[in-house]
Structure 1
Amino acid sequence: MTAALSSAPGAGHAPAVRTDTPADDPSRAPGVGGPSLMAARPEPADLDPRRALRELARWRGAGQDAASFPYRAVLGHYRTVGKNAVGDELLTALRAIRPQGGAGPARLLADWLPQVVDGRHGDYAGYAGIPVYTSLAENGASTDHVITALLADIVETETATLAGAPAGRPRARAALRALIAAAGLAARYGTTSTPRAPDEDAALVRAGAEAARAARERVTADVLRAVELTLTPTTRSHDEQMFIRLIQIFEAVFAAVARAVAAATEAVGTGRIDLAQKLLDEATRHVTGTSGVFRVLTTMPKDAFAVIRANTDGRSAVQSRTYRAVERSCPTLHLALVRSGLPEAELAPAMAELDAAWGAMKRTHWGITMKVIGTVRGTGGTDGASYLREAAEVRLFPALG
């Protein structure tokens, strides 16, 4: 269905956004292939930007304390209408904010703002909320915590729309399995991620709620807060919410691998080949863990991805700095190992395992892309599957033999 998202009352002059999506069909239930819950069942205060504008004005008048910023009001509107339909008046108010200070709530606000002020012409970093997650990592946040919290959010989002939307069952199950694996809950929940009773949807919802709650108990408050704030889809599509969360998970993995390779290079320079091996083994664990995440991605309907692609021009994952950092730093590690005079045979197996896992991940991405978008152009104007096919052939350690 072809539709346009008009400005909400009082939104200013926002450009009409063509969505070409069933998300705007009032007869469609929220969930896979349809609108998000907030778009399908909007709160009047979230549909209208005036509440966000009032709370921003009140916040400015009270001294602009970053700790009391009205995130809820702003995000409520963004998630209800889609970022590409947010009007000029609210965008102007947000762009006028100048956070002071470099730590705590002020740093969070400064990191968060780019993803809500970029309008229709943002970049990949803003789309994925990368500045927020970069600061988390700099402050020592666990990559496992970030991935766990993001998967818990997917599980809750997907199970919340199961009623009347059977197309969502495969995704909910896949997300729950990935969460159980990432959070180390397998021993506790076993195979409850795949209930087969007649009331399987109800059982799946209960299992999802229990697993998400248990997973969040293992995650720090700062990570949970970051995940809470970094969802600003460009459209009203339910599927874009999942897509953004998966991008954030992959970015967390790429960043962890890049840090591990850099640290391994330093370890080799000081003769600590044992430490370098441990670091590379940990990096490989993160990469192999993406297999469950890819199973969630395979549930993306083709028409839903077409909408995302149309609404995210300029926000391509080819802009990922962490991905490039991984592929740029691995040859440097090998060169450092050769120059160190240390026995290459001691570290070569760990390097080869990381190389193999990275290549398998890229081939999986290519295969899923062929299934979902075929040979059409990818997000940001890339050549889509053909671009990924060529990228999959690039090795991390080409000189390893």
Structure 2
Amino acid sequence: MTTYQHHGKHFVPDEWTRALAAARDRLPQLHGTNTRYLSAFLAGALDKVDGTYDYRSYLGLALLRLPGTDQAPGTAVQQLARRDRLHAILLTDLIAFELRAAHNVHTPLPLMRPAPAVAAKRLRHAMRAAMPALRRLSLVEHATDSSQVTALRRVVAAVSMVLTDEDRRALQVSMLPVHTVHDEWLFIRVLQAFETTFALLATDLTDVITAVSAGQVPRAASRLAAAASLLRESAALWPLMATIQPDAFHAFRTFTEGASAIQSRHYKIVESLCRAPGTARLDSPAYLSVPEVRTAIMHGQISLDDVLDAAHQSPPDPALGAAVREFAAAISQWRQTHYRLAVRILGPERNGTGYTEGTPYLRDARQESVFHHCPSARPDGGAEI
């Protein structure tokens, strides 16, 4: 993995990929051995060779323990703790990488290192984005001066002490950049952190739908309000992403064609659990790029809009109505900030990665209502970037 990081996945020598492919061919011979994780890693490492490269394989999502229904359900508190742990691990890894790069020229991804002022700003935003999760996990007891290198190193050390061997392996194998441009480490870790949050939001919405269907409206309102709060909290990732250098982004994005955030499965699940998308959107690249999500919708996936209608909760219970409005506003603000940052980096009419429509698509997507019964707020602002 370290060798991949020093070369970039797009530029790995053919003899290495042939050796990995040969190793993969021998996996069926390992009778009685669980090779699921190794198989997932090899699929990601060889995705460009196999022609299966996409957003999910670029981010190594199959190698991260994202919140989801494939794990023991647990309580809302336990599920939040799982998300917080992965969120904190990803961001402190980014902080550790930036600290190493500032003092060691042999750190991976050596091209286009940011100026010291940019690196310092990035570290401050990374710590601010990680801090709520670190506090809930009791990994920090009080506010940390995010401008002091010694304080940052203490936080990195505190998180490192609780990492399991599986955590360390996941961090290593989920970082396979396509190039050797420094800022790609930031880009990958921030997108992974967003995916972690949306994976939890999908489980939150599923629980809210179940609660409303069962007539447990107070529980539904509480869970949805908490989801809205978490989404607003995750907006701290946008100022962090905004520290990416546009020239650096354009240097590595050439080699990310085929992997676009429009392929985000978790975001589409969240959107479709709020309300079923109309035919035009369902037949757009947004959903054609996530066929398993589209299929679930076409086979009758239930949305929160659906159960509110069935429960005659429109207009809903006051507490649930407030939570619906909060969540809709949080989604709308997230979309708006995403659009503003994309315009800053790409320009107002530039295509996105993976041959997508880029900023014009994001501009139009802002207008999508989150819920039928609660028109989306369209804030002029959003997170400061």
Which category describes the TM-score, using the shorter chain as reference length?
0.7 to 0.9
**Residue type of the alignment partner of 1:378:** G
Query: What are the equivalent positions in structure 2 for 1:53-202 lying under 5 Å apart?
Result: 75-96=1-22, 97=24, 99=27, 106-119=35-48, 121=51, 122-133=53-64, 137=68, 138-140=70-72, 142-163=82-103, 165-166=115-116, 167-184=118-135, 188-194=141-147
Give the structure 1 partner of residue 309 of structure 2: 338
Post-superposition offset of 1:186: 9.6
TM-score by length of 1: 0.73
Give the structure 1 partner of residue 331 of structure 2: 358
Q: 1:373 and 1:155 mapped to 2: Cα distance?
A: 25
Q: 1:104 and 1:192 mapped to 2: Cα distance?
A: 47
**Residue type of the alignment partner of 1:131:** A
The structure-2 alpha-carbon separation of the partners of 1:285 and 1:107, relative to structure 1 and needing over 3 Å to count, comes to farther
The structure-2 alpha-carbon separation of the partners of 1:235 and 1:187, relative to structure 1 and needing over 3 Å to count, comes to closer
The structure-2 alpha-carbon separation of the partners of 1:114 and 1:153, relative to structure 1 and needing over 3 Å to count, comes to same
Decide whether the 8 Å contact of 2:139 with 2:158 is kept in 1: no
Post-superposition offset of 1:187: 6.8
Post-superposition offset of 1:365: 1.0
Give the structure 1 partner of residue 320 of structure 2: 347
Residue 360 of structure 2: which of 377, 382, 386 is its match?
386
Give the structure 2 partner of residue 198 of structure 1: none
**Residue type of the alignment partner of 1:336:** V
Q: 2:333 and 2:159 mapped to 1: Cα distance?
A: 27
Q: 2:88 and 2:32 mapped to 1: Cα distance?
A: 24
Report the identity percentage.
29
Q: CA RMSD in A?
A: 2.6
Q: 2:340 and 2:19 mapped to 1: Cα distance?
A: 43
Q: 1:293 and 1:378 mapped to 2: Cα distance?
A: 20
Query: What are the equivalent positions in structure 2 for 1:43-54 lying under 5 Å apart?
Result: none
TM-score by length of 2: 0.76
**Residue type of the alignment partner of 1:338:** D
> Do structure 1's residue 398 and structure 2's residue 372 form an aligned pair?
yes
Give the structure 1 partner of residue 76 of structure 2: none
Secondary structure, in 3 states, of the residue corresponding to 1:139? coil
Post-superposition offset of 1:379: 1.1
Number of aligned residues: 318
Post-superposition offset of 1:309: 1.8
Give the structure 2 partner of residue 18 of structure 1: none
Decide whether the 8 Å contact of 1:148 with 1:179 is kept in 2: yes
Residue 215 of structure 1: which of 152, 155, 159 is its match?
159
Q: 1:104 and 1:129 mapped to 2: Cα distance?
A: 22
Q: 1:179 and 1:187 mapped to 2: Cα distance?
A: 11
Post-superposition offset of 1:217: 4.5
- Residues 23-47 of structure 1 show CA distances to partners (whole Å, capped at 9, x for unaligned) of xxxxxxxxxxxxxxxxxxxxxxxxx
Gaps of 5+ in 2: 73-78, 105-114, 276-302, 376-385
Q: Which has the larger radius of gyration?
A: 1
